[in-house]
A and B are shown apart, each in its own frame.
Chain A
Amino acid sequence: MRLHFVTVRNYRLHRECRLEFDDHRTLIGGPNESGKSTLVEALHRAFFLSAKGNTEAHRAMLSAVHDGKPEVEVEFTARGARHTLIKQFKGASGSTRLTRHGGSTWTNEEAEAQLAELTGTPQAKANKLHETWAHLWIVQGRSGDNPLDPAQGERDRLLHHLQDEGGAAVAQSEIDHRLAAHFATFVDQTFTQNGAPRAQSDLGRARQELDEAETAATQAAATLSALEQALAEHQQSGLRLAEAEAALRTLQSEQRRLEERVQAIALRQREVDATQRAVEDAIRDHQRLADAETRLTQSRAELARRRESLAPEREKLRMAQQALQGLRESATQAEQTLQGASEALLFARARHDLAQARQQAEERRLQVANLDARAADVQKARERRAALQRELAALPALDAVAVEALQTAEQARARAEASLAGMAAGLEVLASDQAVHLAGQTLAPGETRVVTESVEIQIGDGTRLRLHPGGGTGLADARRSRDQAHQQLHHQLTRCAVASVAEASTLLRRRETLQGTLREIESELRGLGAEQLDAALAQARQALVAAEAESERRAQTLTALKAPSGDEGDPRMAIDQAEREEAAARAGQEIAQRRWREAERQTLERAETLRLAETEVGELESRLRLLLEEHGDDTNRAQALASAEQARRTAEAALQERRAALAQLTPEELANDRQRLERSLLQQQGKRDDSLRQQADSAGRLRTDGGSDPVAALKTAQARLDAAQARHDGLARRAAAQRRIHELFTEERQALSDQLTRPLAERVTGYLQRVFGPEASLSLRLEDGAFTGLALGRGQRGATGFDQLSGGAREQVAAAFRLAMAEILADAHEGCLPLVFDDAFAHSDPERVQKLLRMLDLAANRGLQVIVLSCTPADYAALGAREITLA
């Protein structure tokens, strides 16, 4: 079917608009609101909306600005013939007129019917109007919609065509449907979504029954096994009980034997103890006697020894006494010698002392004289000093500084003078015939006068000269300076109380000399110790007096002493000798004394010792006597000793026997044996108690109440389990089989649908590759008779579902799909169907749009009539379409 012309009158904004379509490519451009979409709508309504009617669609086409009812005239080719359709939408009086060129004309209902036949689409109900041919004519704003939705409407037609194309496809029959449904139903009833059996299905119930039977069988087995266990335990515990009781009996008799042994041991122990005591007594007795014997013997020996030693001792004493006497005499003599020596010494000392005192006094005298001399010197020096000081005081106080200052002042004055003089002019009168006066003074020829100030020189009466030495003021200044310096100097001289500087220097020198001399004198005084001198002198005088007194005293002492014989000699030497003699005498006396005392002591000691020894001997003798009395004479004693010895031996032998007897009973093992026995008893008792308990316990478990027979119960449970298993397995087998069939049906039907959809997908892919490149592909499925799963594949990147694509991509894919679909459907329309793209690529970028043009171009080449509406027709220039511009 191909559109040729369309004229629209009184249709909304169009008063009258006529368009001529190109057979292949038409581009309708125009700005927004220029009525492009309205035209398309009008075309659509002309084909698919009944002329008579007053629906919303009818009302929508009414024009507000133009009078008259909407009218659409279309010229098109269908079924190999050209037709003209004129539809007037006048509400109830609307009319339709369809004319086949060179053929019949139909009006109204007939026309509508014929139209429907030509388009292959029945007239639409008002509410489904926009769905009609929605797959072919893309309305503004709907370009991104999933093209499968409108395709559903055409599905059967598509499938029909596709089946023809598919060629070797196997059709499905009714019976196939029925069978597929039958098995699908069964599977749905039997299994849940995840493939598990439904609890309510036969299989599910069989499964449950199986589970329960298993549980029951397990329980029955457990019960039976528990009983058997109890039986086994009962038997075992019985055995153990018997064992334990037998063991206990044995242990108890052993225990009795042990007790007996304990008794026996105690008895023997007592015997041993008694015997032990007897032995100890015997030993003691024997010992006692033996000791006594020993003591006796010892005493005797001792006594003898002592007696022997007495005699020599006595002799020694006698001799010592003799010696003592001698020593006493020596001592007395020595005493006397000493006496004499002491007296001599005393005298020598006194003489010496006197000599010394006299000497000292002499010394003191000299000292005093010395000091006196010195004092005189001091006095002289002092007087000299005083004189100098007076002289010094008389001189004006000048110091080097002052003198220097004077000198400086003098120099200054001299300088001032010099400079002044320098400035001075010397006026020399060489010759003059007139009287020359200089400052009133006459200056005779040959006189020179130094002039230091401006002076008037009068020469005669008529000539008066002023001389300015030094050029004016300088002279005045110099004079002033000189005067100042002179004054200064004078002032200073006055201050220093000198007449001149030279004098000042002289005075200063004099001062200095004086001062120097004074210093010398000072030091001399110091050297003489002037300060201390008086004191020293006084002291020395005192000492002299004392020394003289002392001397006197000693002289007196001497006279009181006895003078020894012999010459006196030097007092010093005399002393020494006297001392020596005295010392010797003393030493001698001491020795003698010491010896005598020592000897005395020793003698006394000896006497004492002797006395003691004699006493001891006496004691010993009496002790001996006692012992003999006590123990009898020698014979008796010997007897007693022998019998005591015998007794001891006997007792010891007896003890030995008893001990052996005790050891036989191994008392040291007793404690261990006891412990061992006790442990064993405990153990066996424990075993017995445990066994009793276990027996009672297992007996309890064995006792049944007779309500049920566990053996029978197990058999029953087992049989039930086997039956449930068999039933379940059978059902499971059937279910698996039916499921397999269902799977196979699903697979086969899917394969079938894939076969059908493949040509469509391939066709769309062909278009898409023009836009997306050679890697692009389209995938789509037919499921349960509906198209679904539209997706764009991008080679490596995988496939993206239509709804996940971007706006632009969606437009492009949708367009490709429509083109492909139209191609297929066009078969029934002599190979051509008109496709309208109203602003269908709003989201596609210009580059893509250019690629889209290729797609559209291809479609046109394949026979489709492509009509594009756009506000930017420039973008579509490359399509090479007939361009129509709406103003």
Chain B
Amino acid sequence: MVFLHTADWQVGAPHARVEDAEKRALVRRERQAVIGRLGAVAREHGAAFIVVAGDLFDSPRPDRATVSAACSAIGALGLPVYVIPGNHDHGGPDSLWEQPFFLQERAALAPDLHVLLRPEPLELEHAVLLPCPLLRRHEPQDTTAWIRGLDFANFGSKPRIVLAHGSVQDFGPAGDDDESDGASNRLELERLPLDEIDYLALGDWHGMKQVGPKAWYAGTPEPDRFPRNNEPGHGLVVTVERGSPPGVEAIKTGHLRWHNLEFDFTDDADLEQLEVLLAEATRARAGEDLVRLTLRGSLGMSARAGLEQRLETWRARLLRLRLHDQLRLNPSTGEMEALTQRSDAPLAARIATRLLEESRSSDPEVAATALAALRELHAAA
């Protein structure tokens, strides 16, 4: 049988770092829009149901609007959706999954949404789900432990699918820049009776990744952070049979692009190169990319001023420009001479000389202020 494996939707994520309000709304909405695309993929491939391996919501307490929108989107999928709580939307006392409002909206908008809050098998028509819900943010115990002693005899020939959320040996979702979590929900998959299990649908790692013969992380269907060695933006179409290895097809569902770029300035003229780099990454589109740009090297004052200008343009075009500015200001000889040797402003020239002096100070504050002052002088003069 075929089903769709997805996880880490992070619906309701505020994307607060996107400064422009409208752009932020756009990014947020994409998180919801992807649900529809997942549904399309699922239906296209004849999936019997969809499993969400945790972190459907970004917060254990999403506001009502978010809840309603999510339920609505899920309801529109037309397929049964099985969800376990992850560490972001964990279960536990008074969790959102038991709040009257959620239950109300689910009943009204997504009656085929099933939230599995108890670690006990759920037998479906064509498969057995073994959910390992997280009932709190940090669960020191292995949530899959209950499976170890399970009697599989009752399940017959139905494929057994484990739903779990957490980190596996060797690597975990080591905190990305924006959202370092450090939630240590360890899953000890090697202790499971793997022969009795046909697929392990994992969540928490935002990039799609296979971590065992039958264990996959689906990753988030719509990327939500600057990537670091992973490939987010997919849904997994899984074909599974009792006793056979699963067949997994990764389908791209992501829309917005998150880029991680670096650039080194060795010459003032490199400014053009940077332009090219950015243009290529965004393929001359506006409103669809988020860029994390790390700048290194040194620039002269004019070039620096020029850079500032260009960056303004990019800020406008991109949904978000996250700048790591490690550039040093290195006024060129010509630039300095222009300031210190000018005859039509002897006082200013003297001052420029003094600032140049100060920019070499061992006190970083003094040096930084002096450099900035030189820029100002250069700009004013």
Contact with A along B36-61 (1 / 0, CB 8 A): 00000000000000000000001111
Cβ A235 vs Cβ B64 within 8 A = no
A171-B346, A179-B381 given; A719·B17 CB < 8 A: yes
- Point out the residues of chain B lying under 8 angstroms from A180, CB to CB: 347
Cβ B347 vs Cβ A712 within 8 A = no
Assembled-state Cα–Cα distance A738/B370 (Å): 10
From residue A158, how far is it (CB to closest CB) to chain B in Å? Answer: 21
Assembled-state Cα–Cα distance A718/B381 (Å): 39
Beyond A179-B380, A706-B63, A710-B61, 15 additional contacts (C-beta under 8 Å) are A170-B346, A170-B350, A180-B347, A235-B136, A702-B94, A706-B61, A711-B60, A711-B61, A712-B13, A717-B16, A734-B376, A737-B370, A745-B347, A748-B347, A749-B347
B377 within 8 A of A: yes
From residue A724, how far is it (CB to closest CB) to chain B in Å? Answer: 11
B373 within 8 A of A: yes
From residue A195, how far is it (CB to closest CB) to chain B in Å? Answer: 14
- Point out the residues of chain A lying under 8 angstroms from B368, CB to CB: 733
Cβ A707 vs Cβ B350 within 8 A = no
Assembled-state Cα–Cα distance A752/B347 (Å): 9
From residue A753, how far is it (CB to closest CB) to chain B in Å? Answer: 12
Assembled-state Cα–Cα distance A702/B95 (Å): 9
Cβ B373 vs Cβ A737 within 8 A = yes
Cβ A175 vs Cβ B345 within 8 A = yes
- Point out the residues of chain B lying under 8 angstroms from A183, CB to CB: 376, 380
Assembled-state Cα–Cα distance A527/B324 (Å): 166
Name the CB-closest residue of B to A707. Answer: B63
Contacting A at CB under 8 A, from B62-101, are 62-64, 66-67, 88, 92-94, 99, 101
Name the CB-closest residue of B to A235. Answer: B93
- Point out the residues of chain B lying under 8 angstroms from A170, CB to CB: 346-347, 350
A179-B345, A738-B376, A741-B377 given; A709·B59 CB < 8 A: yes
Contact with A along B345-360 (1 / 0, CB 8 A): 1111011001100100
Assembled-state Cα–Cα distance A171/B348 (Å): 11
From residue A736, how far is it (CB to closest CB) to chain B in Å? Answer: 5
B12 within 8 A of A: yes
Cβ B345 vs Cβ A176 within 8 A = yes
B369 within 8 A of A: yes
Interface residues of A: mostly helix, strand, loop or mixed?
helix
A797 within 8 A of B: no
Cβ A723 vs Cβ B93 within 8 A = no
Cβ A699 vs Cβ B14 within 8 A = no
Name the CB-closest residue of A to B358. Answer: A740
Among B58, B93, B369, B376, point to the contact of A711 (Cβ < 8 A).
Answer: B58
Assembled-state Cα–Cα distance A699/B93 (Å): 8
B344 within 8 A of A: yes
- Point out the residues of chain B lying under 8 angstroms from A320, CB to CB: none
From residue B105, how far is it (CB to closest CB) to chain A in Å? Answer: 10
B33 within 8 A of A: no
Among A699, A715, A745, point to the contact of B94 (Cβ < 8 A).
Answer: A699
Cβ A716 vs Cβ B16 within 8 A = yes
- Point out the residues of chain B lying under 8 angstroms from A179, CB to CB: 345, 347-348, 377, 380-381
Name the CB-closest residue of B to A752. Answer: B347
Cβ A737 vs Cβ B64 within 8 A = no
Assembled-state Cα–Cα distance A740/B347 (Å): 14
B248 within 8 A of A: no
What are 15 residue pairs bridging A and B, where the CB atoms are less than 8 Å apart in the complex? A172-B346, A172-B347, A235-B92, A238-B93, A702-B94, A703-B94, A709-B58, A711-B60, A712-B12, A716-B16, A737-B372, A737-B373, A737-B376, A741-B351, A744-B373
B375 within 8 A of A: yes
Name the CB-closest residue of A to B89. Answer: A711
Assembled-state Cα–Cα distance A745/B17 (Å): 40
Contacting A at CB under 8 A, from B5-45, are 12-14, 16-17, 19
Cβ A704 vs Cβ B61 within 8 A = yes
Name the CB-closest residue of A to B59. Answer: A711
A179-B348, A734-B376 given; A708·B58 CB < 8 A: no
A234 within 8 A of B: yes
Cβ B66 vs Cβ A182 within 8 A = no
From residue B31, how far is it (CB to closest CB) to chain A in Å? Answer: 12
A231 within 8 A of B: yes
Contact with A along B311-354 (1 / 0, CB 8 A): 00000000000000000000000000000000011111011001
Cβ A709 vs Cβ B62 within 8 A = yes
Name the CB-closest residue of A to B17. Answer: A719
Among A176, A709, A723, A733, point to the contact of B66 (Cβ < 8 A).
Answer: A709
Assembled-state Cα–Cα distance A712/B354 (Å): 49
- Point out the residues of chain B lying under 8 angstroms from A804, CB to CB: none
A170-B350, A709-B66, A734-B376 given; A175·B344 CB < 8 A: yes
- Point out the residues of chain B lying under 8 angstroms from A703, CB to CB: 94
- Point out the residues of chain B lying under 8 angstroms from A171, CB to CB: 346
Residues of A within 8 A of B (CB): 170-173, 175-176, 179-180, 182-183, 227, 231, 234-235, 238, 699, 702-704, 706-713, 715-720, 722-723, 733-734, 736-738, 740-741, 744-745, 748-749, 752
From residue A352, how far is it (CB to closest CB) to chain B in Å? Answer: 147
Cβ A740 vs Cβ B67 within 8 A = no
Cβ B59 vs Cβ A710 within 8 A = yes
Among A175, A234, A733, A744, point to the contact of B355 (Cβ < 8 A).
Answer: A744
Cβ A173 vs Cβ B344 within 8 A = yes
Assembled-state Cα–Cα distance A793/B19 (Å): 62
Name the CB-closest residue of B to A706. Answer: B64
Assembled-state Cα–Cα distance A706/B63 (Å): 5
Assembled-state Cα–Cα distance A654/B370 (Å): 112
A170-B350, A179-B380, A716-B16 given; A740·B369 CB < 8 A: yes
From residue B91, how far is it (CB to closest CB) to chain A in Å? Answer: 11
- Point out the residues of chain A lying under 8 angstroms from B347, CB to CB: 170, 172-173, 176, 179-180, 745, 748-749, 752
- Point out the residues of chain A lying under 8 angstroms from B60, CB to CB: 711
Cβ B61 vs Cβ A709 within 8 A = yes
Among B346, B369, B373, point to the contact of A176 (Cβ < 8 A).
Answer: B346
Assembled-state Cα–Cα distance A267/B75 (Å): 75
- Point out the residues of chain B lying under 8 angstroms from A738, CB to CB: 373, 376
From residue A269, how far is it (CB to closest CB) to chain B in Å? Answer: 54
Assembled-state Cα–Cα distance A492/B347 (Å): 162
- Point out the residues of chain B lying under 8 angstroms from A737, CB to CB: 369-373, 375-376
Name the CB-closest residue of B to A727. Answer: B19
Name the CB-closest residue of B to A170. Answer: B346
Assembled-state Cα–Cα distance A713/B60 (Å): 12
A704-B61, A711-B60 given; A744·B351 CB < 8 A: yes
Contact with A along B185-210 (1 / 0, CB 8 A): 00000000000000000000000000
- Point out the residues of chain B lying under 8 angstroms from A235, CB to CB: 92-93, 136
Cβ A723 vs Cβ B376 within 8 A = no
- Point out the residues of chain B lying under 8 angstroms from A234, CB to CB: 93-94
Cβ A741 vs Cβ B373 within 8 A = yes
- Point out the residues of chain A lying under 8 angstroms from B64, CB to CB: 706-707
- Point out the residues of chain A lying under 8 angstroms from B67, CB to CB: 706
- Point out the residues of chain B lying under 8 angstroms from A176, CB to CB: 345-348
Assembled-state Cα–Cα distance A382/B345 (Å): 177
Assembled-state Cα–Cα distance A702/B62 (Å): 13
Name the CB-closest residue of A to B372. Answer: A737
Name the CB-closest residue of A to B64. Answer: A706
A175-B348, A709-B62 given; A741·B12 CB < 8 A: no
- Point out the residues of chain A lying under 8 angstroms from B17, CB to CB: 719, 722-723
Cβ A733 vs Cβ B372 within 8 A = yes
Assembled-state Cα–Cα distance A228/B189 (Å): 29
Contact with A along B297-318 (1 / 0, CB 8 A): 0000000000000000000000
Contacting A at CB under 8 A, from B229-245, are none
Among A175, A699, A706, A715, point to the contact of B16 (Cβ < 8 A).
Answer: A715
- Point out the residues of chain B lying under 8 angstroms from A733, CB to CB: 368-369, 372
Assembled-state Cα–Cα distance A77/B373 (Å): 57
From residue A551, how far is it (CB to closest CB) to chain B in Å? Answer: 153
- Point out the residues of chain A lying under 8 angstroms from B351, CB to CB: 741, 744-745, 748
- Point out the residues of chain B lying under 8 angstroms from A722, CB to CB: 17
From residue B317, how far is it (CB to closest CB) to chain A in Å? Answer: 19
